[in-house]
Chains A and B, each alone.
Chain A
Amino acid sequence: MSTIVILPDQATARVPKRNYLTNENGILSWLLTGDHKRIAILYLISITFFFFIGGALAGLIRLELLTPQSDLMASDTYNKIFTMHGVVMVFLFLVPSVPATLGNFLIPIMIGAKDLAFPKINLLSWYLYLVGGAMTLGAMITGGVDTGWTFTTPMSTHFSNTNVITTGLAIFVAGFSSIFTGLNFIVTIHRMRAPGMTWFKLPLFCWAHYAASILMVLGTPVLAITLVLVVLERTIGIGVFDPTKGGDPILFQHLFWFYSHPAVYIMILPGMGVISEVISTFSRKRVFGYTAVAFSSVAIAVFGFFVWAHHMFIMGVSNYAVLVFSLLTMLVAVPSAIKIFNWTFTLYKGSITFETPMLYAFGFMGLFTIGGLTGVFLGTSGTDIHLTETYFIVAHFHFVMVGGMLMAFLSGIHFWWPKMTGRMYPEKISQLAAVVTFIGFNFTFFPQFLLGMLGMPRRYAAYPAEFQVLNVFSTAGASILGVGYLLPMIYLVWSLKYGAVAGANPWQATGLEWQIQSPPLTENFTTIPIVTQDVYDYEWLERQKEHEVTHVG
Chain B
Amino acid sequence: MDSHSIATTVDAHGHDVAHEHEHPAYLRHHFVSYEQQTETASFGMWLFLLTEIMFFGGLFTAYMIYRNWYFPAFVAGSHQLSIFLGSLNTLVLISSSFTMAMGVWCAETKRHKGLVWALIATLILGIGFLGIKSVEYHEKWEKHHIPGDTFSVQSFVNPDSDAEAKAAHDKPLGLDMARKTEVYFSLYFAMTGMHALHMIIGIALLCGMLFKAVRGGYMDGNIAFVENFGLYWHFVDIVWIFLFPLLYLISRHQ
Which A residues contact B (CB, under 8 angstroms)?
Answer: 16, 18, 23-24, 108, 113-119, 121, 179, 183-184, 186-187, 190-192, 217-222, 224-226, 228-229, 232, 236-240, 245-248, 251, 254-255, 258, 504, 515-517, 521-523, 526, 528, 544, 548-551
Additional A-B contacts beyond A115-B29, A236-B148, A551-B2 (19; CB < 8 A):
A18-B14, A24-B12, A114-B30, A190-B43, A192-B36, A221-B54, A221-B55, A224-B55, A228-B190, A232-B190, A236-B146, A238-B186, A239-B182, A239-B186, A245-B182, A248-B65, A523-B14, A550-B1, A551-B6
Does the CB pair B65–A551 fall under 8 Å? no
Partner of A240, one of B12, B73, B187: B187
Nearest neighbor of A218 in chain B, beta-carbon distance? B54
Does the CB pair A240–B43 fall under 8 Å? no
Q: How far is the CB of A305 from chain B (nearest CB, A)?
A: 10
Instruction: A18 to B8: give the CA distance in the assembly, Å.
Output: 12
Instruction: A115 to B32: give the CA distance in the assembly, Å.
Output: 11
Nearest neighbor of B60 in chain A, beta-carbon distance? A225
Partner of B3, one of A222, A232, A523, A549: A549
- The interface residues of chain A lying within 8 Å CB-to-CB of B13 are 522-523
- The interface residues of chain B lying within 8 Å CB-to-CB of A504 are 1-2
Instruction: A207 to B70: give the CA distance in the assembly, Å.
Output: 45
Does the CB pair B30–A217 fall under 8 Å? no
Does B139 make an interface contact (CB < 8 A)?
A: no
Does the CB pair B2–A517 fall under 8 Å? yes
- The interface residues of chain A lying within 8 Å CB-to-CB of B73 are 246
- The interface residues of chain B lying within 8 Å CB-to-CB of A523 are 13-15, 29-30
Partner of B58, one of A23, A118, A222, A548: A222
- The interface residues of chain B lying within 8 Å CB-to-CB of A222 are 54-55, 57-58
Does the CB pair B36–A246 fall under 8 Å? no
Does the CB pair A521–B44 fall under 8 Å? no
- The interface residues of chain A lying within 8 Å CB-to-CB of B70 are 246
Does the CB pair B51–A179 fall under 8 Å? yes
Name the prevailing secondary structure of the B interface residues: helix
- In B111-136, the 8 Å CB interface with A consists of none
Does the CB pair B58–A255 fall under 8 Å? yes
Does B211 make an interface contact (CB < 8 A)?
A: no
- In B53-68, the 8 Å CB interface with A consists of 54-59, 61-62, 65-66
Does the CB pair A239–B59 fall under 8 Å? no
- The interface residues of chain A lying within 8 Å CB-to-CB of B141 are none
Does the CB pair A191–B2 fall under 8 Å? no
Interface residues on B, range: 35 or more
- The interface residues of chain B lying within 8 Å CB-to-CB of A551 are 2-3, 6
- A sample of 6 cross-chain residue pairs with beta-carbon separation below 8 angstroms, ordered by A number, consists of A16-B2, A108-B30, A118-B44, A192-B40, A239-B186, A246-B69
- The interface residues of chain B lying within 8 Å CB-to-CB of A254 are 61
- The interface residues of chain B lying within 8 Å CB-to-CB of A226 are 58
Does the CB pair B14–A217 fall under 8 Å? no
Does B254 make an interface contact (CB < 8 A)?
A: no
Does the CB pair A247–B47 fall under 8 Å? no
Interface string of B38-55 (1 = CB under 8 A from A): 011101100110111011
Instruction: A549 to B8: give the CA distance in the assembly, Å.
Output: 18
Does the CB pair B148–A221 fall under 8 Å? no
Does the CB pair A238–B58 fall under 8 Å? no
- The interface residues of chain A lying within 8 Å CB-to-CB of B44 are 117-118, 121, 183-184, 187
Does B183 make an interface contact (CB < 8 A)?
A: yes
- The interface residues of chain A lying within 8 Å CB-to-CB of B148 are 236-238
Q: How far is the CB of B103 from chain A (nearest CB, A)?
A: 23
Does the CB pair B62–A229 fall under 8 Å? yes
Which of the listed residues A217, A218, A240, A550 has the most CB atoms from chain B within 10 Å of its own CB? A240
Instruction: A217 to B182: give the CA distance in the assembly, Å.
Output: 32
Does B189 make an interface contact (CB < 8 A)?
A: yes
Instruction: A114 to B33: give the CA distance in the assembly, Å.
Output: 13
- The interface residues of chain A lying within 8 Å CB-to-CB of B1 are 504, 515-516, 544, 548, 550
| Complex A-B, nearest 8 residue pairs according to Cβ-Cβ distance, in ascending order | A238-B186, A115-B30, A221-B55, A225-B58, A236-B148, A114-B30, A221-B54, A246-B180
- Contacts known (A237-B147, A548-B1); A113 close to B186, Cβ less than 8 A: no
Instruction: A48 to B186: give the CA distance in the assembly, Å.
Output: 40
Does B16 make an interface contact (CB < 8 A)?
A: yes
- The interface residues of chain B lying within 8 Å CB-to-CB of A521 are 5, 14
- The interface residues of chain B lying within 8 Å CB-to-CB of A236 are 146-149
Instruction: A235 to B70: give the CA distance in the assembly, Å.
Output: 24
Does the CB pair A183–B187 fall under 8 Å? no
Instruction: A245 to B153: give the CA distance in the assembly, Å.
Output: 12
Does the CB pair B147–A526 fall under 8 Å? no
Q: How far is the CB of A489 from chain B (nearest CB, A)?
A: 31
Does the CB pair B183–A247 fall under 8 Å? yes
- The interface residues of chain B lying within 8 Å CB-to-CB of A228 are 190, 194
Instruction: A145 to B41: give the CA distance in the assembly, Å.
Output: 39
Q: How far is the CB of B180 from chain A (nearest CB, A)?
A: 4
Instruction: A522 to B11: give the CA distance in the assembly, Å.
Output: 12
Does B21 make an interface contact (CB < 8 A)?
A: no
Instruction: A224 to B53: give the CA distance in the assembly, Å.
Output: 12
- The interface residues of chain B lying within 8 Å CB-to-CB of A239 are 147, 182-183, 186
Does B252 make an interface contact (CB < 8 A)?
A: no
Does the CB pair B40–A187 fall under 8 Å? yes
Does B4 make an interface contact (CB < 8 A)?
A: yes
Nearest neighbor of A514 in chain B, beta-carbon distance? B1
Does the CB pair A186–B5 fall under 8 Å? no
- Contacts known (A224-B55, A236-B148, A238-B190); A246 close to B183, Cβ less than 8 A: yes
Does the CB pair B190–A516 fall under 8 Å? no
Does the CB pair B183–A191 fall under 8 Å? no
- The interface residues of chain B lying within 8 Å CB-to-CB of A117 are 30, 40-41, 44
- The interface residues of chain A lying within 8 Å CB-to-CB of B8 are 526
Does B143 make an interface contact (CB < 8 A)?
A: no
- The interface residues of chain A lying within 8 Å CB-to-CB of B52 are 221
Instruction: A426 to B228: give the CA distance in the assembly, Å.
Output: 49
- The interface residues of chain A lying within 8 Å CB-to-CB of B3 are 549, 551
Instruction: A18 to B32: give the CA distance in the assembly, Å.
Output: 23
Nearest neighbor of B182 in chain A, beta-carbon distance? A239
Does the CB pair A23–B12 fall under 8 Å? yes
Q: How far is the CB of B157 from chain A (nearest CB, A)?
A: 15
Q: How far is the CB of B170 from chain A (nearest CB, A)?
A: 19
- The interface residues of chain B lying within 8 Å CB-to-CB of A16 are 2, 5
